[in-house]
Amino acid sequence: MSFSGEVSATYRKADTPPELAGARTTGRFLATGALTGGHFGLFQWDMAPQAGGPGAHFHKTFSESFYVLDGTVRLYDGERWVNAEKGDYLYVPENGVHAFRNDTDEPASMLILFAPGPPREEYFLEAAEIARSGRQLSQEERTEFLARHDQYMV
């Protein structure tokens, strides 16, 4: 029996410009759900000192994992906040309450893995555009925006 593979790999150079470059955070969409056929999404999330982060929330349809590359990232596992450092990892299953932030005076960087791979980049790009524009969402608009992206605040 003969087996053959296919030429289908995707290479991304380290100096590829980030898809999201904000004042406090930079997002590199290393592998979107579209690229991986919906299997997973992988982003690099770089945070400036005191960048903060989202409040406690959960997702109904995908898990999320965080792997700290550099600095100290505050991770919330639904019960407690921990100071996660290089090499530390947090897995959050579907419906698991979690949050992350950089409250330190140093930059921090982590990988975020979503599985399966929803189009999560759309959430981050839309949130950045809302912030950039200065537009203030009503509570109803905010709830709809978050629900459309499978994000439910606690």
For residue range 12-53, what is the model confidence (pLDDT) as tens digits?
999 999 999 988 999 999 999 999 999 999 999 999 999 999
Question: Tell me, what DSSP letter sits at residue 102?
Answer: B
pLDDT tens profile 116-137: 999 999 999 999 999 899 999 9
pLDDT tens profile 84-127: 999 999 999 999 999 999 999 999 999 999 999 999 999 999 99
Residue 154 binned pLDDT confidence (cut-offs 50, 70, 90): very high
**In this structure, what token pair is assigned to residue 64?**
């999320």
Q: 20-153 domain in CATH 2.60.200.20? A: no
Query: How many other CB atoms sit within 10 Å of the CB of residue 14?
Result: 5
Query: How many other CB atoms sit within 10 Å of the CB of residue 17?
Result: 7
pLDDT of 23: 85
The DSSP bridge pattern shows strands 99-101 and 72-76 to be antiparallel
Q: Which residues on neighbouring strands pair with residue 58, listed in sequence order?
A: 152
